[in-house]
């Protein structure tokens, strides 16, 4: 297999987190390691006070499959669904960045899979980590997203 000249992680890995659990299951189903917290040069945040635009990371990227996975605690809410709701500036910004990931990844031909804790075995927003159940849910989602 060809080795990639890309770092495996640009951020801290929290092995006890639900995100790590879900992305590890995805890697096992796909059969390849992902690049965790990978940041594309062309996927950027809004300019800060100095005019700098930091890179927006994705949770997991499989370059061999042109596939990205994003994990969400709770419901996945597209920006269009929240119009008129009273939200903090930070929440509104996060939703806008989620939407930016959707549109920009599609422009570059990268398939995006969004996984919510609500799709998997859970209690409130915490996962129960039922490997059998969660694999049954994730396998068709990931298989449908891969070329």
Question: What tens digit of pLDDT does each residue of 129-141 get?
Answer: 999 999 999 999 9
Average of per-residue pLDDT across 40-46 = 96
Q: Is 11's pLDDT higher than 60?
A: no
CB 112 within 8 A of CB 106: yes
pTM score of the predicted model: 0.86
- Alpha-carbon distance values, 104 to 99, 112, 120 (Å): 9, 10, 27
Q: Is 72's pLDDT higher than 60?
A: yes
* DSSP state letter for 15: T
Q: What's the pLDDT at 16?
A: 86
Q: Return the percentage of the chain with pLDDT > 90, whole number.
A: 73
Split at pLDDT 50, 70, 90, the class of 13 is low
3-class DSSP assignment, residue 146: coil
Q: Which residues make Cβ contacts (< 8 Å) with residue 20, sequence separation at least 6? A: 13, 14
């Amino acid at each position: 297999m060809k080795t990639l000249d890309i770092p495996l992680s640009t951020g801290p890995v929290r092995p006890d987190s639900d995100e790590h659990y879900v992305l590890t299951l995805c890697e096992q189903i796909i059969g390849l390691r992902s690049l965790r917290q990978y940041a594309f040069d062309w996927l950027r945040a809004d300019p800060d006070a100095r005019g700098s635009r930091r890179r927006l990371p994705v949770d997991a990227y499989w370059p061999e499959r042109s596939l990205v996975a994003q994990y969400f605690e709770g419901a996945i809410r597209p920006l269009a669904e929240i119009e008129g709701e009273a939200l903090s500036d930070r929440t509104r910004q996060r939703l806008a960045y989620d939407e930016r990931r959707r549109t920009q990844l599609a422009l570059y031909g990268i398939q995006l899979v969004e996984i919510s804790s609500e799709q998997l075995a859970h209690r409130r927003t915490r996962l129960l980590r039922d490997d059998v159940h969660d694999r049954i849910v994730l396998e068709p989602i990931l298989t449908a997203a891969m070329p």
